[in-house]
Every structure is written in C-alpha cells, then in structure tokens.
Amino acid sequence: MRVAALVIALMTMTSVVSAQVTKQSFGKTPDGKNVDIYTLKDGAIEAHIITYGGIIQALKVPDKNGKSADIVLGFDTLDEYVKGNKGYFGALIGRYGNRIAGGKFTLDGKTYSIPVNDGPDPNHPVNALHGGPKGFDKVVWDAKEIPHGVELTYVSPDGDQGFPGKLTAVVRYTLVGKDLKIDYSATTDKDTVLNLTNHSYFNLAGAGSGDILKNDVKINASHYTPVDANLIPTGEIASVAGTPFDFRKPTAVGARINDDNDQLKKGHGYDHNWVLDSTGKLAEAAEVYEPSSGRVLQVITDQPGVQFYTGNFLDGSITGKGGKVYGHRSGLCLETQHFPDSPNHPKFPSTELKPGQKYHWVTVFRFSAR
Ligand code: BGC
C-alpha cells in the first residue's frame, strides 16, 4: 500500500516537475548546416522547436473535450521553411521586430542603415522589417537541452544586417504544465538597438481550419500607436476608447475589422502595436478564446507592447502542414515586444542596449480550455 502510494506520488511529481525533451534531425540547410527539432512534452501539451530560426514548428494543445490539435501555422519540412517562410511563421525575430522607417536610425550621433525589405509596393521596399532580409528567423541557432526545454544561442557579428555591435542572443523555450515560456536575453559589445520577439500565428481551432474572425480577443491596453501608409507609427499614443481598437473587453476579431476606419484601412485589418497598461510588469497582455474548441490562449509578458496582426497578408497562396491552405486571416499573431520604429521615436520606451547591460524579458503562452 505504502509503496504504491509512493510510486503514484513520484509519478505525479515527475509529470509536474519535468517536461520530456527529445531531439531529432530536421535536415540540413542548403549550405550544409544540420538542423534539429526538439520536442517538449508535458502531459497533453507538446511544443516542437527547430533550430533553424528558433521556429515553433508545431504546438499541440487539447480542446475542451481533451482532443488535441496543432494550433500554429507552419510547414512539415525544412526546405519549405528555407524557401517559403515569407510570413515568418513561428520564428524568432531579430535584431529588430517589426519596422524601422527607411531602414535608418541614428545612435550616438552615427546613422546606421539596415537593408530595406518591406513596403506597400514589394518592388520598391521602403522599410526594414523584422531585422532586414536575413534576420534571426533565417539562421541556424546553437542548441542545448536544458531542464524542461531547449536553450538556443546565436552570435550575431558586428555589422550584421547593418546593426552595430557583436550581439549574443540566448532564447530559452521551456514547457511546464500549461505554460510555454520564452525567455529572451542578450548582451552586446557596442551600443546597439534590439527588439526580439516570436512570430507564431495561432489558430486555436487548429492550423488550416479556417479564419480567426470568430475568436474573442482581449488586449489589456488603453492605447495603441497609429500608423502611416507605410505601417510606421506616427508617434502618437492614441486612446483606444470608442474605436475598433478597444479590446479591453473580449470582442470577436471580425466584429469591427471591416469598419470604415482609416487605421484599419492602413493595416488592411489589425496590424498595430498596442501599448500595454502593465507598463513593464509581468502581467497578462492578451487572451484569445476560440468558441468551437473552447481553447484559450493567454499571453503574459513584461514587454511594453504587443503587435496584434490578423494575418491580413495571407491570401491562400501558402500551403502548410498536412497540405492545408492558409487563407486570408487564418492565423493571428500577438508579438510581444517594444514598439515598431522605436529607434526613430525618442518618446517610445528605449530599445537601446549598451555593453555591460543585460537585455532580459519573458513571454508565457498559457493554454487552457473552457
Ligand atoms: C507585421 C506585418 C507583417 C507580418 C509578416 C507582422 O509583425 O506587423 O505587417 O506582414 O509581420 O511579416
């Protein structure tokens, strides 16, 4: 009797104490670098992370009846990520999440240029998006297993995509219970700017199962940063009150997305930075509820902003995992980060990192069903 009780207690402890972590090969990049896939499993939740781009390749989460589905957009093979991940599915973004106007900023009196790769007319790019043409989403990270997860390291040389300083970025993915935690840290040897994030597209009904317009979204933010026609913040910190940007109470994504609103037109839907009320304290930034599955995603962070992007540029031209086509607005992103184009907006929270300082912050994706 006592032995049985002890065995049960130990089994319960191990399932609480540790996610199972396994590693397999995910292939080789065209230039011959090995890429691995780490599987983190705790109870019914599984996260698959690849060392190319630090990408969350799959995330399996049970619904209200215990039925599991993969709730992130992505691909089955490395080749597809290397050739066709135009939407940055699941990737770690660096050095600078979102846009830098004209790809230019000034730091300590010197102007830096990041190659431009984004703009309303794809043939004439005007902004640097997500760190330039070869950002952290397109490199192979060094990886090692850590308790409950995997630690990824990338050393970005001085001048990488035009950014100053040799930067060492360390990102830890861990899964404990219902929490997938992403822990970001970095150091530099010269003054630089930095804005890391993760670019997962969630569809809580299952990737490839339709659009996200009926998802209820709550964002704990009283303000957002309006944009110009190039999706660069104008600098204004505007109140969400009385606008389609007020998600302080859970509201269906589709309820106001087609309203006659200049900002929604500029974003082709929601593609904006919300200024979180939590002001840098670890707190819930957003919650998403998907009514048919009952799945709930809570996004918890200590970052000042979240880019809520409703997959407006998805148009059915991408076929993802299991041959499923990703149509218009078939995934939503909640990219916790600093504000877009901060290096050109002295009034926004600073994205500068200096030698001797440690960049460190976390985001937790917490899953449940109701
Ligand atoms: C941006 C979108 C962009 C998407 C994919 C988001 O972070 O805000 O404008 O289309 O990333 O690149």
309 close to ligand 1 (CB < 6 Angstrom): yes
313 close to ligand 1 (CB < 6 Angstrom): yes
β-sheet bridge partners, residue 339: none
From start to end of 118-256, where are the E strands? 127-129, 142-146, 149-156, 167-176, 179-188, 192-193, 197-199, 216-219, 223-225, 238-239, 251-252
Query: Given the CA of residue 93, which atom of ligand 1 is nearest to it?
Result: 7
How open is the CA angle 48-49-53, to the nearest 5 degrees? 150
The residue whose CA has the least distance to atom 10 of ligand 1 is 313
136 close to ligand 1 (CB < 6 Angstrom): no
- 124 annotated active-site: no
The residue whose CA has the least distance to atom 7 of ligand 1 is 98
Q: Cα–Cα distances in Å, from 134 out to 141, 160, 197, 279, 298?
A: 14, 9, 15, 31, 30
Side chain identity at residue 99, one-letter code: R
Task: In whole angstroms, give the CA distance from residue 181 to residue 175.
Answer: 6
Q: Residue 161's closest CA among 79, 105, 232, 119? A: 105
Give me 8's structure tokens: 């049960």
Task: In whole angstroms, give the CA distance from residue 143 to residue 178.
Answer: 23
Q: CB of 192 within 8 A of CB of 75? A: no
Distance 69 CA to ligand 1 centre (A): 25
Query: Given the CA of residue 97, which atom of ligand 1 is nearest to it?
Result: 7
Q: CB of 40 within 8 A of CB of 175? A: yes
Q: Given ligand 1 and candidates 55, 129, 270, 341, which is best to mutate, with the most ligand atoms within 8 Å of its CB?
A: 129
Instruction: Measure the CA dihedral 153/36/130/327, to 10°.
Output: -160
Task: In whole angstroms, give the CA distance from residue 364 to residue 356.
Answer: 26
What pTM does this model have?
0.95
- 148 annotated active-site: no
90 close to ligand 1 (CB < 6 Angstrom): no
230 close to ligand 1 (CB < 6 Angstrom): no
Helix (H, G, I), strand (E, B) or coil at 72: strand
The residue whose CA has the least distance to atom 9 of ligand 1 is 271
Instruction: Encode pLDDT of 307-359 as tens digits.
Output: 999 999 999 999 999 999 999 999 999 999 999 999 999 999 999 999 999 99
| Residue 233 neighbours by CB under 8 Å, 6+ apart | 225, 226, 227, 273, 339, 340, 341, 345, 348
Task: In whole angstroms, give the CA distance from residue 113 to residue 132.
Answer: 10
Instruction: Encode pLDDT of 140-188 as tens digits.
Output: 999 999 999 999 999 999 999 999 999 999 999 999 999 999 999 999 9
From start to end of 177-265, where are the E strands? 179-188, 192-193, 197-199, 216-219, 223-225, 238-239, 251-252
Give me 288's structure tokens: 């998403």
Give me 267's structure tokens: 């974003």
370 residues of the chain, pLDDT tens digit each? 455 555 455 554 444 567 999 999 999 999 999 999 999 999 999 999 999 999 999 999 999 999 999 999 999 999 999 998 999 999 999 999 999 999 999 999 999 999 999 999 999 999 999 999 999 999 999 999 999 999 999 999 999 999 999 999 999 999 999 999 999 999 999 999 999 999 999 999 999 999 999 999 999 999 999 999 999 999 999 999 999 999 999 999 999 999 999 999 999 999 999 999 998 899 999 999 999 999 999 999 999 999 999 999 999 999 999 999 999 999 999 999 999 999 999 999 999 999 999 999 999 999 999 9
The domains of the chain, with CATH numbers, are 22-369 (2.70.98.10)
The residue whose CA has the least distance to atom 8 of ligand 1 is 271
